Amino acid sequence: MLSKGIFINQCGWRDCLPNGGWGPAVRDHYLLHFVASGEGDFWVGDHHYHLHVGQGFFIPPNVICTYKADLNNPWQYYWIGFNGPEAALLLTSRGLSEVTPVFSCHMTEQITDCLRSMMNHFQVRPGSSLSNIGYLYLFLSLIPYTPPTVGLENPYITQALEYIRLNYSYDLSVMSIARHLNLNRSYFYKIFLKETGQSPQAFLRDYRLDSARQLLWQGGISVTEAAISCGFKDITHFSAAYHKKFHVKPSLDKRSRS
């Protein structure tokens, strides 16, 4: 039985040479890449992204892009090419679009297991079998959903939200975000609050808490591991903030969903 909404073109894995890459050129189908190790760069439109293990990027059809392995630490990545009338909606449901083509995920082992299984199965049964489509859906289900930023009037805030999305697990601060945008900290705070209705600190905290909760619900990770993975240094502070936002202790929320 074949799906009439999604068609799998290809899937595979590549161990790239230093500076080895593709483009600038276009594809005639949708393409997802996931970085299993190493680093590389992705250019699409006027945007440049430097990506590392645990991140991935999305290429829409007929859009000029370029991607290239790092010179000193070249990446290895998996890819899935697909198409069909439901493809765009499927990607949008995970927050992926031409505006937000890059994603990050802590479930690296689960994703690589899924993509390895899909690649092995594809060699036996190439094309759009339900099992191959199932692997695609499983892969996308492991990507944290990021709400789209369409409607924001200030391009600085769009860039700030993208920077937070890609770096929230690191030692991120309002000052470092403002510095990334080449803005004064006070001015950045003012425009962020006006545009989003939240201070940058509150937005970053809530984003980290939402990401930690998703990790706990997915299972296989402790409260401490979830906190550290999402950028919290103080576990007591994390637990208190988690309880205040979700009205449940993270340890109980973890057990109730396991």
Within 35-92, residue ranges assigned H as helices are 87-92
Residue 145, pLDDT score: 64
Number of domains in the chain: 2
Shared domain check, 128 and 182: no
What is the distance between the alpha carbons of residues 44 and 65, in angstroms, rounded to a whole number?
A: 5
pLDDT for position 4: 58
Matching residue, tokens 């940058």: 200
Give the model's pLDDT for residue 86: 79
Q: Look at residue 185 in the predicted model and tell me its pLDDT.
A: 93
Give the model's pLDDT for residue 105: 82
Tell me which of 108, 141, 174 is where a domain ends: 141
168 and 203 inside one domain: yes
pLDDT of residue 45: 80
Nearest 5 degrees, angle CA 221-CA 223-CA 227? 100
17 and 127 belong to one structural domain: yes
Q: 116 and 223, same structural domain? A: no
Q: Tokens 């340890």 sit at which residue? A: 251
146 domain-assigned: no
Q: Are residues 122 and 166 in the same domain?
A: no
Q: Is residue 235 part of a domain?
A: yes
Looking at residue 92, what is its pLDDT? 74
Residues β-bridged to residue 152: none
Check which CATH number belongs to the domain holding 16 and give it: 2.60.120.280
pLDDT computed for residue 227 by the predictor: 93
Q: Which of the residues in the chain have pLDDT under 70?
A: 1-4, 127-128, 145-153, 218, 254-258
Q: What is the pLDDT of residue 155?
A: 79
* Structural domain ending residue among the three candidates 100, 116, 141: 141
Residue 59 covered by a domain: yes
Looking at the fold, whether 112 and 165 belong to one and the same domain comes out as no
Assign residue 220 the CATH number of its domain. Answer: 1.10.10.60
Q: Last residue of some domain: 82, 116, 141?
A: 141
Q: Kindly report, residue by residue over 194-208, the tens digit of the pLDDT.
A: 888 889 999 899 889
97 alpha-carbon distance from chain centroid: 12
b/e 214-240 (16+ beta carbons within 10 angstroms → b): bbbebeebebeebbeebbbeeeeebbe
Q: Domain containing 190: what range?
A: 155-257
Tell me: do 175 and 123 sit in the same domain.
no
Same domain, 120 and 180: no
Q: Is residue 149 part of a domain?
A: no
